[in-house]
Structure 1
Amino acid sequence: MSYTPVLLDGKALSKEIEESLKKRVANIIRQTGVVPVLATVLVGNDPSSEVYVKMKGNACERVGMKSLKLHLPEETTTGQLLAAIDKLNNDDSVCGILLQHPVPAHINERECFDRIAAEKDVDGVTCHGFGRMAMNEPAFGSATPAGIMKLIKHYNLPIEGKHAVVVGRSPILGKPVAMMLLNENATVTICHSKTEGLPEIVKGADIVVGAVGKPEFIKADWIKDNAIVIDAGYHAGGIGDIEISKVKDRAMAYTPVPGGVGPMTIATLIMQNVESAEIQLFKNIKLQSDIEGGVVELAETPALL
């Protein structure tokens, strides 16, 4: 049986999203005189984290927002980081806060994540935000899982009634994407590197999400024909968590690595910061947005709390 696989082009979609965000940011500035700000907090000198923070700052600039970069030394304590987050929570000019993961091992990362105010949790990392998202209530979802869902929906791929297997259980990727798929009426199985009989479980999946954090851990021969293959991993050499090169020709759809999930993570983070700015700066007024030369009224954004 032959297939015409769909390449899920996250890079192209992220550019479309940024173009729409430019208009929304311009509208915020026009109506309030305030330029939305995303605060990024980086602790230590991890080279990869520094690159990621720079990429997020560049994305802010592309859509007309400001990026406030707070770089703390490696020896920063949990208490000092909590104090820095408190300061950002109380800064009315800051619409969103991103604490770059991972922080140094001596810091209680979960305590620091949960210190971020819910209305500024644009990266979807707090327990409160996860709980609301899991209950299908308004909340900012974790950026990578939310980006995956936007990518799937953009290409009109089937989710309802399908069996999705998520390989990975991290609190900012595996668990939230499983809940998001469940909220879209998929039947979801969560697995991980220690799951017994993993190849056979994956073979039953209509949707496979690789989020285990190990290079090409998920083998091509585990995946059935005509499955939707989402690879959320990225490792040295430009490979992901799945043997994409060996399965892409018989998949219904697949994400390239790089250029699939990665760009959607940043685009989703920036979009959620714009949404946070609209909520905080407009409060209960209706927004006016110039779209394709016309003026369109947008409904009030639901409260997050």
Structure 2
Amino acid sequence: MSAEIIDGRAIANDILDELRARITYRRRSGKSIPKLVAVVVGDDPASRTYVRNKSRSASDVGMESDVVVVPESTSDSKLAAILRDLNDRSDVHGIILQLPIPAHLDEVAAISNICLEKDVDGLTDASLGRLSRGDPVHSPATPAGIIEILKRSKISTEGSHVVIVGRSMLVGRPLSIMLSQRGSGLNAIVTLVHTGAQSLGDFTRFADILIVATGQVNTITTDLVRTGATVIDVGTNWISDSTRKSGRRLVGDVDFAGVQSVAGAVTPVPGGVGPMTVAMLLSNTLSAAVMLDGE
């Protein structure tokens, strides 16, 4: 068996095309153009790259975007003031705080300064609370992207056993809530497990859909996957590779070559979940503009 490779980049491009058409219509109708603002604390190269990619994608679909760079030495109170000022700006529809932030800052408190309506990452306590009761304003971008991959690939979650490996507040926990809720393309039977499990295979081998978000290379190997299962790899890990000019390459949490021989479908890294996260972030920003404009 050779698994179907799910092209997340192609699916993301379809979503971006849809957003571009909707924003073009808004522009012609004299409505506000969605604007996304990213706040970056410090000068971390990876964070700068991620934000640059988001800004480029925003521009490609006709959105406006801006980046606010804050000195690494900033205080919790100064960061809070910056985020609250963005809340008050009528020209700003979506706000993200690029993570991680320096260790001396309180990440949870910082994120919670973003108002519910503009929290397009869906990460504030208010957003997660609304999500848990099945009434989200903006769903977290990466979990939403994973669900969209499954829907557009015609992989049903209705009554399927979905095993999520990884319990982070960015992916695992919110995704488990979203997939288990009632509704078309959801309604799954969800098991949330983590790498501390004594025998991970006792859980993963029973998955119809296996979603892996641990941040650890080769968390999932061939022997941990049921034949024919769908495997969604959320991981992004850099490993050394002397054959590359940069000396490194990006891999996921799954042994892709091995798992490809037993799975029914699998997402690659890069080119799987990553592009979907950006697409859903921009989709949330457009939704925020519509909501804030009272449409």
2:219 aligned residue (205, 217, 220): 217
The 2-side partners of 1:162 and 1:42 are apart by 39
Q: Name 2:173's counterpart in structure 1.
A: 175
With the length of structure 1 as denominator, give the TM-score of the two structures. Answer: 0.89
1:162–1:90 distance in 2 versus 1, CA, 3 Å: same
Q: What one-letter code is carried by the residue in structure 1 that aligns with 2:229?
A: A
Residues in 2 aligned to 1:195 and 1:81: alpha-carbon distance in whole angstroms = 38
Distance 1:91 1:220 in 2: 51
For structure 2, the 5+ residue unaligned runs are 239-248
Post-superposition CA distance 1:266-285 (Å, at most 9, x none)? 0110111011111112x14x
Counterpart AA for 2:262: R
1:114-163 superposed Cα distances (whole Å, 9 cap, x missing partner) = 11111101111112111222222132111111100000000110211111
TM-aligned CA deviation for residue 166 of structure 1 = 0.8
Q: Does 1:43 align with 2:41?
A: yes
| Corresponding letter in the other structure for 1:57 | S
The 5 A counterparts of 1:75-224 are 75-183=73-181, 184-224=186-226
**Distance of 1:158 and 1:27 partners within structure 2:** 32
| Cα distance in 1 for residues equivalent to 2:151 and 2:94 | 25
Q: Does 1:280 align with 2:282?
A: no
Q: What SS class does the counterpart of residue 112 from structure 2 fall into?
A: helix
CA RMSD of aligned residues (A): 1.3
Contact 1:36–1:95 at 8 Å: present in 2 too? Answer: yes
CA contact (8 A) 1:210 1:233 kept: yes
Give me the whole-angstrom Cα distance separating, in 1, the residues matched to 2:280 and 2:118.
14
Q: 1:203 to 1:144 in 2, by over 3 A?
A: same
- DSSP 3-state at the match of 2:237: coil
2:42 & 2:218 partners in 1: Cα distance?
29
5+ long unaligned stretches in structure 1: 285-305
For the 8 Å contact 1:216–1:239, the answer to whether it is kept is: no
Instruction: State how far apart, in whole Å, the 1-side matches of 2:147 and 2:120 are.
Output: 16
- CA shift, 1:33, in A, is 4.7
1:74 maps to 72
Letter in 1 for 2:46: S
In structure 2, give the amino acid aligned to 1:196.
Answer: Q
- 1:263 corresponds to: 275
Partners of 1:32 and 1:94 lie apart in 2 by: 17
Measure how far apart 1:240 and its partner are: 0.4
1:108, distance to aligned residue in structure 2 (A): 0.5
Aligned to 2:259: 247
Shift of 1:29: 2.2
Contact 2:222 2:262 in 1 (8 A): no
Q: Which amino acid counterpart does residue 235 of structure 2 have in structure 1?
A: G
2:32–2:289 contact (8 Å) kept in structure 1? no
How far residue 34 of structure 1 moved from its aligned partner, in angstroms, is 2.9
Q: Which moved more, 1:61-70 or 1:234-243?
A: 234-243
TM-score (norm 2): 0.92
Q: Distance in 2 between matches of 1:220 and 1:137?
A: 38
Aligned length: 281
Partner amino acid, structure 2, of 1:223: V
| In structure 1, distance between residues paired with 2:156 and 2:62 | 35
> Conserved in 2, the CA contact under 8 Å of 1:28 and 1:278?
no
What letter is aligned with 2:201?
P
Between the aligned partners of 1:110 and 1:221, the Cα distance in structure 2 is 37
Q: Kindly, what percent of the aligned residue pairs are identical?
A: 38
Instruction: Tell me the CA shift for residue 31 of structure 1.
Output: 2.5
Counterpart CA distance in 2 for 1:196 and 1:162 is: 24
For 1:221-240, list aligned pairs within 5 A: 221-236=223-238, 237-240=249-252
